[in-house]
Amino acid sequence: MKQKLFIAAGLLALIVSCDPPKHGISRVANIDPYSYTINKRTESENGAVVSAHPLASKVGLSMLKRGGNAVDAAIATQLALAVVYPNAGNIGGGGFMVARLADGKLVTLDYREMAPGSASRDMYLDEKGNVREGQSMNGHLSSGVPGTIAGIFASMKYAKLSFTALIQPAIDLAERGFVLTKREAAAYNGLQADLKKYNTQPNAFMRSVPWKEGDTLIQKDLAATLKRIRDKGQAGFYEGETARLISEEMKRGGGIITAEDLKNYKAKSREPHVFNYKGYTIVGMPMPSSGGLLLHQMMKMIEDRNIGAFGFQSTQAVQLMTEVERRAYADRAEYMGDADFYKVPVKALTAPEYLAGRMKDYDPDHAGNSTQIKPGQATGHESEETTHLSVLDKDGNAVSVTTTLNNSYGSKTVVGGAGFFMNDEMDDFSVKPGVPNMYGAVGGEANAIAAGKRMLSSMCPTLVLKDNKPYIVVGTPGGTTIPTSVFQTIVNIIEFNLSAEDAVYKPKFHHQWLPDVLNIEKGFPQAVRDSLQQRGYKFAERGGIGRTEVIRVLPNGKMEAVADNRGDDDAEGF
């Protein structure tokens, strides 16, 4: 059967490649990369894909239409994002996949980046023990060993179509190009100074004249790398020519990733982090992501408090959610890190008596205080630029994938001759215990740097099951705001009965223990802000929080897919 699909998919790829050119360029997977629409919401019966870029969602949908399952669509979407959304879509970064397969099996894959073999705890400190500004955030030294391609191949065992079919649209998009939106052209223009600073060789994004809307971005080096991966599998990235290009780039720019580090990288299959909330089964990512554990703590701390009766964005509900966020993030700073290196007390941190104890000093009349509320006695921070995709198919395969380069365009270093950005994920470690990283979060021993260790993440790809069947597929980028956005989206749907659009689009808020401020998005209700201010809360207004992509199953069995309106995110279904 698999063989037949392989041949059929191969023929289809050939036919697709031979489509008549439009604007001189062939269509890709039956999609016109020169003129495409953005859909914010779909209702469908056979399958749905939501991601940060319309071309990537459409590529994913094309795989479902060819008979692929949700895993096929997720793989093709990720590969397409690596081409059309290089600020976060990637092959030079890492990610996590949480899936529920049609037979009910739960799968979580960890393809988080890994500290290189010669990395060490104090590698970003000077002789006085002070942090060398910027070294963990930009340029060659900020990169961990990439995991995305290993993760994609680890997920292939759940796919139906051939890898050749799944990667072809990404190759075509890189080789033939796609048209830039105004927003994308502006982003590349804003990147030029950093590209000059952090690159040793020219690349497709550098230009002497400004990019403008309607320009075509062609990425020949990236296409060649993707072809090596198509032809040689995982070794097309971690060995041979691509590995040589990466390790030479590192040598030229003072990075430390070697060919051996690349060869040693492995995606890891993990035990899903599963818990029950009022009869729903919630499936999340375990360490090295803090996402599943934080979500578990926050949901359990509200479970017996009748939050639904308080009402959506009522003062009581926002205060309660803020205070559980504060307590969970205090624990994150103290206890969370790569569990292969540090014993994370997951059981203790989620014990009902522990969580009840954490809420003993909750006072609905007054703001909590992060100097008094410390991590509990149980025995970093991340960038905003990450990306999420949600997929659901008619057989009940549900896939939630979040991937990242960390900062926007990662380290800003493109691998010379290979055409892709490397991550700056080393900054997600606690580069010096107790010192906040670029987004203000602190960490300690649990998340200190060590060779071969994976840096703590906040990525929170999540599934909510009802009667053991997929009900909600959700996730978002947003650094430390990721788990609080997922928390709010789920609570908005299952406690406040909001539509999926309202659950995603309405202004969000975020508290992460330190700094002790309540971050709110523009449009957050002024009356709630005023009454919380009277209780002693301090506020910081900020731009968009997250770009949440959600699919939920409606009472009539249809799949409702909603793409966040904070960007050009796109929902497709059929």
Where in the sequence numbering do the catalytic residues fall? 386
Check if the beta carbon of residue 517 is closer than 8 Å to that of residue 540: yes
Segment (H or E) for 510:
strand 509-510
Q: Which of residues 238-277 bind ligand GLY (CB under 6 A)?
A: none
Binding status of residue 382 toward ligand GLY by CB under 6 A = yes
For CA atoms 362, 364, 370, 372, the dihedral sign is negative
**Between the CA atoms of 68, 71, 72 and 75, what dihedral angle is there, to the nearest 10 degrees?**
170
Nearest to ligand GLY of 318, 459 (CB atom):
459
Q: How far is the CB of 362 from ligand GLY (least distance, A)?
A: 27
Whether the ω angle into residue 288 lies within 30 degrees of 0, i.e. cis, is yes
Query: What is the Cα–Cα distance from 440 to 431, expressed in whole angstroms?
Result: 13
For ligand GLY, which residue of 51, 57, 400, 406 counts as binding (CB under 6 A)?
A: 406
Binding status of residue 234 toward ligand GLY by CB under 6 A = no
Query: What is the Cα–Cα distance from 443 to 290, expressed in whole angstroms?
Result: 12
Say which amino acid occupies 41: R
Q: If you ran DSSP here, which 8-state letter would residue 24 be given?
A: T
Binding status of residue 411 toward ligand GLY by CB under 6 A = no
Q: Which of residues 158-187 bind ligand GLY (CB under 6 A)?
A: none
Q: How far is the CB of 561 from ligand GLY (least distance, A)?
A: 24
Nearest to ligand GLY of 78, 457 (CB atom):
457
Counting residues that bind ligand GLY (by CB under 6 A) gives 10
Binding status of residue 457 toward ligand GLY by CB under 6 A = yes
Strands 469-475 and 462-466 come out as: antiparallel
Q: Which residue has the tokens 């990667």?
A: 167
Q: How far is the CB of 210 from ligand GLY (least distance, A)?
A: 29
DSSP 423-492: P-GGGGSBSSTTS--TTS----GGGB--TTPPPPB----EEEEETTEEEEEEE---TTHHHHHHHHHHHH
Q: How far is the CB of 300 from ligand GLY (least distance, A)?
A: 22
Q: How far is the CB of 228 from ligand GLY (least distance, A)?
A: 27
Binding status of residue 138 toward ligand GLY by CB under 6 A = no
Beta-sheet strand order (sheet of 462-466): 41-44, 559-563, 549-553, 469-475, 462-466, 280-284, 273-277
Binding status of residue 386 toward ligand GLY by CB under 6 A = yes
At 160, list the tokens: 């139906």
Nearest to ligand GLY of 459, 561 (CB atom):
459
Binding status of residue 447 toward ligand GLY by CB under 6 A = no
Per-residue x/- track, 341-380, ligand GLY (CB under 6 A): ----------------------------------------
Q: Which of residues 17-56 bind ligand GLY (CB under 6 A)?
A: none
Give the number of other Cβ atoms within 10 Å of residue 502's Cβ.
14
Nearest to ligand GLY of 111, 496 (CB atom):
111
Binding status of residue 458 toward ligand GLY by CB under 6 A = yes
Nearest to ligand GLY of 82, 223 (CB atom):
82
For ligand GLY, which residue of 479, 483, 546, 573 counts as binding (CB under 6 A)?
A: 479
Strands 518-521 and 539-542 come out as: parallel
Nearest to ligand GLY of 383, 488 (CB atom):
383
Query: What is the Cα–Cα distance from 75 to 544, expressed in whole angstroms?
Result: 27
Nearest to ligand GLY of 77, 386 (CB atom):
386
Binding status of residue 404 toward ligand GLY by CB under 6 A = yes
At 112, list the tokens: 């988080």
Nearest to ligand GLY of 42, 413 (CB atom):
413
Binding range to ligand GLY, per CB under 6 A, among 229-237, 267-275, 453-461, 559-567: 453-461
Check if the beta carbon of residue 89 is closer than 8 Å to that of residue 403: yes
Q: How far is the CB of 341 from ligand GLY (least distance, A)?
A: 16
Q: If you ran DSSP here, which 8-state letter would residue 95 be given?
A: E
For ligand GLY, which residue of 162, 383, 476, 484 counts as binding (CB under 6 A)?
A: 383
Binding stretches for ligand GLY (CB under 6 A) = 382-383, 386, 404, 406, 428, 457-459, 479
